[in-house]
């Protein structure tokens, strides 16, 4: 997996460093780390879409299959579902159906050992954003 490290006061991480270490999300394999001279990299809001248009298009769905390895001896965790406000339930159903039709998610009808809570947020434009909370 490749990462781009951004040193900026305006960048907002999806998960913070402390959270990722606490959740034991990754381990740094120092022999695979390459350093970048950030003083030569200057990305602006105008330049980013132009230079990385191939990366910023589409759904972000990975084209090949990937395997997440769970540390041996890890205890599976099942989180209870979060409550969804009644006013958002219809929009949530539509969004989940859309994500399923695009092949981004798939319906699971059997029990699974790991379950994360669904998070639903209404954006200022009225659309909803769906994600998960992988807290443990």
The pLDDT score that the predictor gives to residue 9 is 72
Residue 8 inside a domain? The answer is no
Mean pLDDT lowest among 37-41, 68-72, 91-95, 99-103? 37-41
Beta-carbon contacts of 7 under 8 Å, excluding residues fewer than 6 positions away, are: 38
pLDDT at 135 over 80: no
Residue 19 contacts residue 50 (beta carbons within 8 Å): no
Give the CATH number of the domain where residue 75 resides: 3.10.10
Residue of higher predicted confidence among 126 and 26:
126
Residue 39 inside a domain? The answer is yes
Helices (H), 14-131: 17-22, 47-51, 86-101
Could you list the residue range(s) of the whole structural domain that residue 45 is in? 17-133
- Cα–Cα distance, 40 to 89 (Å, whole number): 47
> What pLDDT band is residue 58 in, cutting at 50, 70 and 90?
confident
> What pLDDT band is residue 41 in, cutting at 50, 70 and 90?
low
Residue 4 inside a domain? The answer is no
Q: pLDDT tens for residues 105-121?
A: 888 899 888 888 899 98
Please give the tally of structural domains in the chain.
Answer: 1
Residue 61 inside a domain? The answer is yes
């Amino acid at each position: 997996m490749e990462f781009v490290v951004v040193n900026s006061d305006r960048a907002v991480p999806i998960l913070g460093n402390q959270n990722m270490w606490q959740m034991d999300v990754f381990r740094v394999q120092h022999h695979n780390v390459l350093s970048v001279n950030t003083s030569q990299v200057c990305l602006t809001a105008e330049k980013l879409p132009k230079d990385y248009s191939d990366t910023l298009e589409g759904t972000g769905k990975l084209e090949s299959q990937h395997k997440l390895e769970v540390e041996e001896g890890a205890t599976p965790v099942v989180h209870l579902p979060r409550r969804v406000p009644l006013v958002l339930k219809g929009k949530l159903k539509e969004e989940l159906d859309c994500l399923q039709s695009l092949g981004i998610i798939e319906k699971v009808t059997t029990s699974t050992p790991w379950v994360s809570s669904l998070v639903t947020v209404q954006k200022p434009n009225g659309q909803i954003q769906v994600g998960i909370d992988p807290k443990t």
